[in-house]
Amino acid sequence: MRMSAETVPVEELYRQMCRAREFEMALARLWEKGLISGEMHLGIGEEAVAAGVVAHLREGDAICLDHRSTPPLVARGVDLEALVLEMLGDPEGLCCGWGGHMHLFSREHLACSSGIVGSSAPLGLGFALASQYLETGGVAVAFFGEGAMNQGMLLESLNLAAAWRLPLVLVCKDNRWAITTRSRTVTAGNLARRARSLGVPARRVDGTRVDRVWRAARWAVERARRGRGPSFLLAHCPRREGHFLGDPMLRVYRDPLGQVLEIAPPLLRSLLARPLSRLASRVRCLGQIGATLGALGLELLLEADPLERSGRLLEPSMRARVEEEARREVEEKVMRAMERRVSRA
């Protein structure tokens, strides 16, 4: 195993990444079979960020998550069977089947998630304030996407965390896309500098390298434990399944012929429809759609898979063993969950 002067637990970190990936792929298969209702937002591509940060947490620490909460929950040790049953809407699920995949809570792990963009920051602020007030020594971590940095409640949380020197670590997962909009077209300035302007020290990190995330998170968590206040980590990472499973932008690349046949007729009809706007304006809009798809396609070709990059830190035989163990564990947990559900049907 290739290690730096600092002892990074690469094998355990990679194990948690593999567990998260295998688990979400299993959820995707259940969703495709129609067993999970509604939209499914996966954190595939965010595994290194989740594993690298959660590795530093201990009992009494809290994690507040967005609607891509599965990887941190898996790394935190939440029961996989309970998670599967929750996704299926089963009363024996983690939240009695009421939370679905976007609103997951585990009192045992002080873990919560919400579909409200930016809400993880004020939730984390509350946990951090409670820890400071009760003198538990606990740390709170809030995960969110870069689009949440434009939410007022998140900026207010940054301000209060700095003013009160709360033990809060804010982790921004930046994939440079806000659903189908390039983030740079709606977000001005530099996000790390934005955090620093509110008195919160910030670091940028490659979110596809778990060893680098681990080091950055160690700095932030240890700083919080010493009572030195909040920190902000800006982790750049891909979102390999788009905004949600079945993302129409990704379908264009995975099934180009089928998608062209599906979307070309309505686009052509809109171009030639009864004049409501100038033809030049319509052509310009179609050009913007093409440019967006082109930009996404280029990123899909160039983006790095966190598992591939982080897996190179291990010897091939060890890497294969870890991957196989993770696959078997997830298969067993999913099978047990399905058997429990069927037995009560």
Cα(81)–Cα(161) distance, integer angstroms = 35
Asked if residue 259 has pLDDT above 90, the reply is no
Amino acid at site 221: V
pLDDT digits (tens, 9 = 90+) for 58-78: 999 999 999 999 999 999 999
Asked if residue 24 has pLDDT above 90, the reply is yes
pLDDT digits (tens, 9 = 90+) for 194-210: 999 999 999 999 999 99
- Could you tell me the two tokens for 287? 């050009």
Cα(113)–Cα(104) distance, integer angstroms = 5
Residue among 206, 215, 203, 202 nearest 13 (CA): 215
Structural contact between residues 8 and 48, judged by C-beta atoms closer than 8 angstroms: no
Asked if residue 277 has pLDDT above 60, the reply is no
Backbone angles phi, psi at 317, to 5 degrees: -65, -40
Structural contact between residues 172 and 234, judged by C-beta atoms closer than 8 angstroms: yes
Total-model pTM: 0.86
- The DSSP bridge partners found for residue 234 are 172, 204
Domain 10-240+307-343 -> CATH class: alpha beta
- When pLDDT is cut at 50, 70 and 90, the band that residue 257 belongs to is low
pLDDT at 113: 96
The residue extents of the domains of the chain are: 10-240+307-343, 248-302
Backbone angles phi, psi at 232, to 5 degrees: -130, 125
First to last CA, the chain: 48
